[in-house]
Amino acid sequence: MLNGILVIRKEQDYTSNDVVAKLRGICRQKKIGHTGTLDPNATGVLPVCLGNATKLCDMLTDRSKEYIAELTLGITTDTQDIWGQVLTDSGEKWRELSEEEIEKTVASFRGKQQQIPPMYSALKVNGKRLYELARAGTVIERKAREIEIEEIELLPPEGCPETMAHRAAYFSILPKLRIRVVCSKGTYIRTICQDTGERLGCGAVMSSLVRTRVGNFRLEDAYTLSEIEKIRDSAGLESVLIPVDECFGAYPAALVREDAVRFLKNGNELRLSMAEMTGEEKKGFAALEEGSPVRIYDRNKIFYGVYLLQKQRQVLKPWKMFLPV
């Protein structure tokens, strides 16, 4: 069984579940899960966890994400994107907007804020997906959720030479605008686009979306499904499979004594005397703070999981276990 993470470049018209289903066939194993829904019309980074890495799915979903979106001014739709039914059309009212007004409005989304999830979303309410209710013509009240826009900025047109990527170029494709957004889990870029149009007074929809980063996983390191299939038949999937422990690379590491491996395999606590810090962490556990996470390996450098340091009790307590299979 393969254990690790494949960074998939999801193509348009695939759902996240479609990608998982395809990979089950390509990898010839069932234990596969994705790390968060990406709309069928969106493309870009979709980390997929295989084998014991499926325990990482929730953790990876929580990581910050980066998107490049195109929004189109002048209309609104029921889905907040270009593929929905048009609700309002303000014609060419967008021509009345100044560049400064657009810039200030886009910048106004930075920071923590409350966002109401769109009806056309995969969120569940009373066991039903919101998009299922929306398709049936039912609109229900949704609770606003706190999100954070860490970064948001206007971008020049796609393919614009760097020498021409000045301020004026950003507005050369009006009524379209391109934006880059770095945001927290649960942020709907479609809603950011719609709210931009609302604040500008002319309406707007999202007309394309590319997810360029999830945590440390970037678009330039991602593979399409067809590329993954070719790699399987040539170099082998292990050549592009990211090991589970790389997701915890910021944590210090420790090796467990040979006679204590049985405690690892049973998921038991470890006495500090059973493990030794490695590499630059030779100062030992005394240099770490209470509750510090530590990567745990056996003497063969096989990763078993992440333990939490409990200095008062002089033990390492299991937190996230990834027993070899």
The residues assigned a catalytic role are 39
DSSP 159-220: T--GGG-SHHHHTTTTTEEEEEEEE-TT--HHHHHHHHHHHHTS-EEEEEEEEEEETTEEGG
Going by C-alpha positions, the residue among 35, 26, 13, 82 that lies closest to residue 215 is 35
Q: Which residues, at least 6 apart from 303, have a Cβ–Cβ distance to it below 8 Å?
A: 243, 244, 245, 295, 296, 297, 322, 324
* φ and ψ of 102, to 5 deg: -65, -45
- Classified as helix, coil or strand, 140 is coil
Find all residues with CB under 8 Å of 112, minimum gap 6, and list them: 146, 147, 148
